[in-house]
């Protein structure tokens, strides 16, 4: 049963200018705590492993990613270590377990949190010690699962305690409506609470949006409508570069959008520009009130233009696109919602007059909150992404995030109201205690839920994705299971039983 919010690591970036190498040599240092969720993490920065950064035949040799890869199972991380980016990571940067978090926020947050706390802190400290000036942590995780959302938000809290001065930017992948993790609304809502309190800035991302964007690019590239002006492979989705492996995984294109988001976000700190915009300026300008720190992002242009001498119309199109529904990284329409603030991070051959013209042009069609009618923040970085003559990342603090959150809440309430009770056992010492507790729960639940003898509870044992039926008085529980299980009591689930059984395969 594979949740859809899978993010294998993004492909290595093809050009040295964009490669993590430059992130280090540009003199600005980050540490990245990548709370990997069910799958994968993104290296966001590197540190020099030797005397200096070194590139040999387009491959990074002596650099190590300034990243911490955390997953409570081994598959994905192992894949990374065998993949093209293996030289960038070493085993000191990994924290893995074998049993996973079973799509249970509490397991990730409470159990693994306390279990791995020391280990995580130590590794973070080590990474931080290598930084001349630690500015920001990027946390990349998903909201629906157990490790990313639970342990991820635990790490977030940990970072606040250990490095209170350092900014915490979180890139959160929100579950979609058809998410196949039953518990994802619970996990997401629990994680949201942590994000509200401990993050400086959250960039919500939705899989559906990424998927649509990838499709759109493929359509554009294949339709031939734009003729020779569009290269077949857009940089945002493809990584036509040195370290690319033969087979491209389905999520690679989507992950690359995310990678580009982070690259553009940090471009001004890495390269020169006539109007710098550091990471701390993002929170300063876009977060008017401490908890309203959810920023909707959009990237343009999505395809690489072959013609470098861009006519002005196309440049203006880039600005218009950034505000269109199709280019947002969540399912939202900022144009018809209220802006609290908006930032434009421009890269490449764009001058202040282009910026001003476009702001003037777009302003009438956008609604800004009364006390911030001129809520625009701009940054100009002179180095464009590879293959582009210019690019734009728009960050909006906009009320259009509301539908995403409301939908999440509705799904949460639906589950909650249906009396699908989730009993989350977070600390069990021995199997004996565990069985006793389980019995106790069964008894108490029966009394309050009027569970009949035919009712059953589903034990969702995460590691092997096995579903065990628990019948009254006949507990079919393997005594060697770890002490953490998620039990779903419900009479309504009976009818779904066959469905679940199908998924077991």
Partner 1 sequence: MSIVTVQLGQCGNQIGHEVFNTICSDVRDTHGLCSKKENESYRDASKERFFCEEQSEVPVARAVLIDMEPKVISQTLSLAARSGYWKYDDGSHFSQKQGSGNNWANGYSVHGPRHKEVIMDLVQKEAEKCDRLAGFFTIMSMAGGTGSGLGAFVTQCLRDAFPTSFLLNHVIWPYSTGEVIVQNYNSVLTLSHLYKSADALLVHENDVVHKICAQLMNIKQISFKDINQVIAHQLGSVFQPTYTAEGGLHYSRNPLGDLMETLVPHPEFKMLGLRNIPQMPENSLAYSTFSWPGLIKHLRQMLIANAKMEEGIDWQVQPPRLGSSIPSSHSTNKPLHFNTSIANLVILRGKDMHSVDLGSFQDPSLYTSWLNPKDAFHSWKTLRAFNKYEKSASLVSNSQFLLKPLDNVVGKAWNMFASKAYIHQYTKFGIEEEDFLDSFTALEQVISSYSSL
Write out the residues near partner 1 by the rule CB under 8 A: 27-29, 132-133, 135, 272, 274-276, 278-281, 283-290, 341, 343, 351-356, 359, 363, 370-378, 380
Q: Over 135-159, what HEC string results?
A: EEEEEEEECCCCHHHHHHHHHHHHH
The CA dihedral of 403, 496, 251, 192, to the nearest 10 degrees, is 40
Per the DSSP assignment, residues forming a β-bridge with 47 are: 64
Q: Write out the H or E segment, with its range, that includes residue 47.
A: strand 46-48
Q: How many CB atoms lie within 10 A of CB 442?
A: 21
Report the residue number, 275 or 423, with the smaller CB distance to partner 1: 275
Report the residue number, 148 or 375, with the smaller CB distance to partner 1: 375
Longest pairwise C-alpha distance within the chain: 76
Report the residue number, 374 or 505, with the smaller CB distance to partner 1: 374
Report the residue number, 377 or 409, with the smaller CB distance to partner 1: 377
Report the residue number, 56 or 289, with the smaller CB distance to partner 1: 289
In the complex, the smallest distance separating the C-beta of residue 396 from partner 1, rounded to whole angstroms, is 12
Report the residue number, 271 or 465, with the smaller CB distance to partner 1: 271
The residues near 345 (Cβ < 8 Å, ≥ 6 apart) are 264, 265, 267, 268, 277, 378, 379, 381, 392, 393, 394, 395
Report the residue number, 221 or 286, with the smaller CB distance to partner 1: 286
Q: Over 102-133, what HEC string results?
A: CCCHHHHHHHHHHHHHHHHHHHHHHHHHCCCC
In the complex, the smallest distance separating the C-beta of residue 346 from partner 1, rounded to whole angstroms, is 12
In the complex, the smallest distance separating the C-beta of residue 17 from partner 1, rounded to whole angstroms, is 16
- Give DSSP secondary structure letters for 251-264: THHHHHHHHHHHHH
State the Cα–Cα distance between residues 389 and 300, nearest whole angstrom.
12
Q: Are 301 and 318 in contact (CB under 8 A)?
A: yes
Q: Which of 66, 91, 125, 76 is nearest to 262 (CA)?
A: 66
Report the residue number, 49 or 375, with the smaller CB distance to partner 1: 375
Q: Are 357 and 423 in contact (CB under 8 A)?
A: no
Report the residue number, 194 or 354, with the smaller CB distance to partner 1: 354
State the Cα–Cα distance between residues 503 and 109, nearest whole angstrom.
26
State the Cα–Cα distance between residues 207 and 209, nearest whole angstrom.
5
In the complex, the smallest distance separating the C-beta of residue 377 from partner 1, rounded to whole angstroms, is 5
In the complex, the smallest distance separating the C-beta of residue 288 from partner 1, rounded to whole angstroms, is 4
How would you list the strands of the sheet with 466-471, edge to edge?
A: 421-424, 486-489, 457-461, 466-471, 474-475
In the complex, the smallest distance separating the C-beta of residue 93 from partner 1, rounded to whole angstroms, is 23
Helix and strand numbers (H, E) in the chain are 14, 20
Report the residue number, 372 or 431, with the smaller CB distance to partner 1: 372
Report the residue number, 136 or 459, with the smaller CB distance to partner 1: 136
State the Cα–Cα distance between residues 137 and 262, nearest whole angstrom.
12
State the Cα–Cα distance between residues 205 and 296, nearest whole angstrom.
8
In the complex, the smallest distance separating the C-beta of residue 47 from partner 1, rounded to whole angstroms, is 15
Per the DSSP assignment, residues forming a β-bridge with 397 are: 341
């Amino acid at each position: 049963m594979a949740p859809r919010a899978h993010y294998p690591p993004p492909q290595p970036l093809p050009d040295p200018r964009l490669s993590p190498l430059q992130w280090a040599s540009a003199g600005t240092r980050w540490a990245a705590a990548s709370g990997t969720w069910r799958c994968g993490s993104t290296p966001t920065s590197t540190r020099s492993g030797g005397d200096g950064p070194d590139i040999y035949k387009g491959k990074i040799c002596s650099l190590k990613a300034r990243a911490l890869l955390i997953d409570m199972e081994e598959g994905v991380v192992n894949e990374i270590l065998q993949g093209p980016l293996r030289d960038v990571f070493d085993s000191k940067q990994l924290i893995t377990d074998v049993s996973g978090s079973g799509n249970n926020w509490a397991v990730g947050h409470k159990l693994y949190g306390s279990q791995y706390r020391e280990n995580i802190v130590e590794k973070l400290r080590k990474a931080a010690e290598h930084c001349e000036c630690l500015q920001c942590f990027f946390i990349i995780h998903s909201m629906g699962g157990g490790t990313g959302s639970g342990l991820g938000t635990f790490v977030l809290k940990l970072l606040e305690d250990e490095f209170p001065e350092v900014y915490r930017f979180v890139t959160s992948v929100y579950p979609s409506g058809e998410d196949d993790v039953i518990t994802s609304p619970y996990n997401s809502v629990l994680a949201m609470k942590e994000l509200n309190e401990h993050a400086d800035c959250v960039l919500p991302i939705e899989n559906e949006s990424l998927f649509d964007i990838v499709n759109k690019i493929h359509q554009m590239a294949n339709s031939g409508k734009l003729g020779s002006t569009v290269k077949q492979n857009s940089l945002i989705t493809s990584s036509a570069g040195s370290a690319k492996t033969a087979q491209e995984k389905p999520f690679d294109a989507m992950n690359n959008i995310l990678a580009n988001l982070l690259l553009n976000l940090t471009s001004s700190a890495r390269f020169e520009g006539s109007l710098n915009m550091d990471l701390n300026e993002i929170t300063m300008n876009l977060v008017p009130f401490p908890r309203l720190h959810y920023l909707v992002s959009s990237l343009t242009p999505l395809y690489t233009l072959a013609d470098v001498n861009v006519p002005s119309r196309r440049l203006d199109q880039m600005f218009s696109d950034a505000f269109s529904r199709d280019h947002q990284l969540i399912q939202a329409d900022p144009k018809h919602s209220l802006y609290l603030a908006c930032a434009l991070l421009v890269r490449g051959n764009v001058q202040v007059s282009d910026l001003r013209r476009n702001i003037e042009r777009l302003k009438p069609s956008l609604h800004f909150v009364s006390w911030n009618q001129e809520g625009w923040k701009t940054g100009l970085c002179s180095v464009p992404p590879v293959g582009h003559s210019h690019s734009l990342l728009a960050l909006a603090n906009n009320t259009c995030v509301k539908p995403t959150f409301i939908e999440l809440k509705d799904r949460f309430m639906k589950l909650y109201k249906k009396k699908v009770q989730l009993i989350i056992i977070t600390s069990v010492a021995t199997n004996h205690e565990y069985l006793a507790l389980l019995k106790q729960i069964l008894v108490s639940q029966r009394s309050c839920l009027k569970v009949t003898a035919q009712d059953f509870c589903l034990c969702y044992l995460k590691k092997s994705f096995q579903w065990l039926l628990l019948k009254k008085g006949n507990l079919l529980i393997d005594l060697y299971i770890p002490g953490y299980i998620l039990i779903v009591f419900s009479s309504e689930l009976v009818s779904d039983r066959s469905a679940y059984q199908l998924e077991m395969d």
